[in-house]
């Protein structure tokens, strides 16, 4: 999910007692947890049980032994995703351990099922060594149609995803990287259109060089942003050519410049993307940006600059946050359920860059379409139209389920990673 600020553990413990109790009650009653297994076949007679288990179950076992692809015909593999964590970066709480991450993994399962009818097993892996984690996931992967990695700390998350994608022939997707990147890219495309700017010419500042920041910049470059126009900034400042001891991931964003600080980077910038922490973008920095700036302040719950302050400082900006109580929420639920739905529908062997770009462009296009009045009312509006306060779709837009998976499936087919086409699947 989206990055949380470095001090969020303090914010969590300071929650009002009423909210704390409501959250605990929600997870405990009427029975613990948020997900359960549903039986999908009849089990009301001895004959049913003889087919569900012994002796009838031996028949599909042998069919799968003879041809592993038959697992898609006779088991739930084709609609089953494993949501897996090592618990090293759970929300903004840091390394809570794998077991403490289970409520979040169950939450992801709820979103997968609610929005895209994808079934999920959540799996929490105790593994301090990333190679142990990789080996564990690789050994259990054959029973799933896809793997969603979640809440794994950088820099290990990059290595883990890369190795699993290399070893497995099913989609592997780290949502903290690519899910965030896709929604950011969709919003940036539409904000650029409103501000009458182009991605190729835009000067971009990215504050935060973790999973979300790196993946977002990589995706924007794949879509046309210029490497020399990107200033990647971490706690020590800009990734400039004289910095030492950078990780390979950060080294890829080194730029030849005499600029050093976030304030330096913001001068004449067209786009600010924050995936870092609270209150790090000052009014002065915002004022130094180019005319008609775009500000995506995505730290939760406190963004890099509050919209109230940003709009007081500039009247010509387009702004997004990670919060639901402000316009233009960058929310990963717009992406991962539908991306996996599209990948599973055509039995894709991977989720590649072409599929990520297709998802971003589909979301951007939907964001420009008129919103049905009944859906606008859900969000407290009489109407919602494309503009500075509406650049990306809302999570409960029913059109997401049809539009985004289809775009992802088609990109999988066009890029040669689909085992089925849409006609085969629907047939």
- Catalytic machinery residues: 53, 108
Q: CB–CB of 184/213 below 8 Å?
A: no
Return the axis-axis angle of helices 353-367 and 211-222, rounded to nearest 10°: 80
Q: How far apart are CA 103 and CA 34, in angstroms?
A: 8
Taking the alpha carbons at both ends of the chain, their separation in whole angstroms is 34
Token pair listed for 89: 């970066």
Q: Tell me phi and psi for residue 92, to 5 degrees.
A: -100, 15
Neighbours of 213 (CB within 10 A): 29
Q: How far apart are CA 284 and CA 398, in angstroms?
A: 40
Q: How far apart are CA 233 and CA 231, in angstroms?
A: 6
Residues 6+ apart with CB under 8 A from 376: 382, 383, 384
Q: How far apart are CA 292 and CA 356, in angstroms?
A: 27
Return the axis-axis angle of helices 102-116 and 336-345, rounded to nearest 10°: 60
DSSP state at residue 387: B
Helix, strand or coil, per DSSP, at residue 84 = strand
Token pair listed for 139: 């050994």
95 burial via Cβ count (<10 Å: 0-12, 13-18, 19+): middle
Q: Where are the beta strands (DSSP E) in 294-347?
A: 294-297, 318-321
- Of all helices (H) and strands (E), which one includes residue 111? helix 102-116
């Amino acid at each position: 999910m989206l990055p949380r600020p470095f001090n969020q553990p303090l914010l969590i413990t300071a929650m009002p007692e009423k909210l704390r109790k409501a959250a605990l009650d929600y997870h405990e009653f009427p029975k613990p947890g948020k997900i359960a297994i549903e039986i999908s076949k009849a089990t009301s007679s001895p004959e049913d049980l003889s087919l569900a288990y012994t002796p009838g179950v031996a028949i599909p076992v042998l069919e799968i032994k003879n041809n592993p692809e038959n697992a898609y015909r006779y088991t739930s593999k084709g609609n089953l995703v494993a949501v897996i964590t090592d618990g090293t970066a759970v929300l903004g709480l840091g390394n809570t351990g794998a077991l403490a991450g289970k409520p979040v993994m169950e939450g992801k399962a709820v979103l997968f099922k609610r929005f895209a009818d994808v079934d999920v097993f959540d799996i929490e892996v105790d593994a301090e060594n990333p190679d142990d984690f990789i080996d564990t996931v690789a050994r259990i992967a054959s029973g799933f149609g896809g793997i969603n990695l979640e809440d794994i700390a950088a820099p290990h998350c990059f290595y883990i995803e890369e190795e699993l994608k290399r070893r497995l022939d099913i989609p592997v997707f780290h949502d903290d990287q690519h899910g965030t990147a896709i929604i950011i890219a969709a919003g940036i495309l539409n904000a650029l259109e409103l501000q009458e700017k182009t991605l190729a010419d835009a000067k971009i500042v990215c504050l935060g060089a973790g999973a979300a920041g790196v993946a977002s910049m990589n995706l924007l470059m794949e879509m046309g942003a210029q490497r020399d126009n990107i200033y990647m900034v971490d706690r020590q400042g800009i990734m400039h050519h004289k910095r030492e001891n950078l990780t390979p991931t950060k080294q890829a964003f080194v730029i030849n410049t005499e600029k050093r600080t976030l304030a330096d980077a913001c001068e004449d910038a067209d786009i600010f993307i924050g995936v870092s922490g609270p209150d790090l973008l000052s009014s002065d920095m915002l004022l130094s940006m180019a005319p008609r700036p775009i500000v995506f302040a995505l730290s939760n719950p406190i963004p890099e600059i509050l919209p109230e302050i940003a709009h007081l400082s500039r009247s010509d900006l387009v702004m997004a946050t990670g919060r639901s109580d402000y316009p233009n929420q960058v929310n990963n639920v717009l992406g991962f359920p539908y991306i996996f739905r599209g990948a599973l529908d055509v039995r894709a062997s991977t989720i590649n860059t072409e599929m990520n770009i297709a998802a971003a462009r589909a979301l951007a296009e939907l964001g420009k379409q008129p919103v049905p009045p009944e859906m606008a009312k859900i969000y407290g509006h009489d109407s919602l139209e494309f503009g500075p306060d509406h650049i990306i779709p809302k999570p409960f837009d029913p059109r997401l389920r049809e539009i985004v998976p289809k775009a992802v499936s088609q990109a999988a087919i066009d890029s040669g990673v689909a085992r089925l086409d849409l006609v085969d699947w629907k047939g």
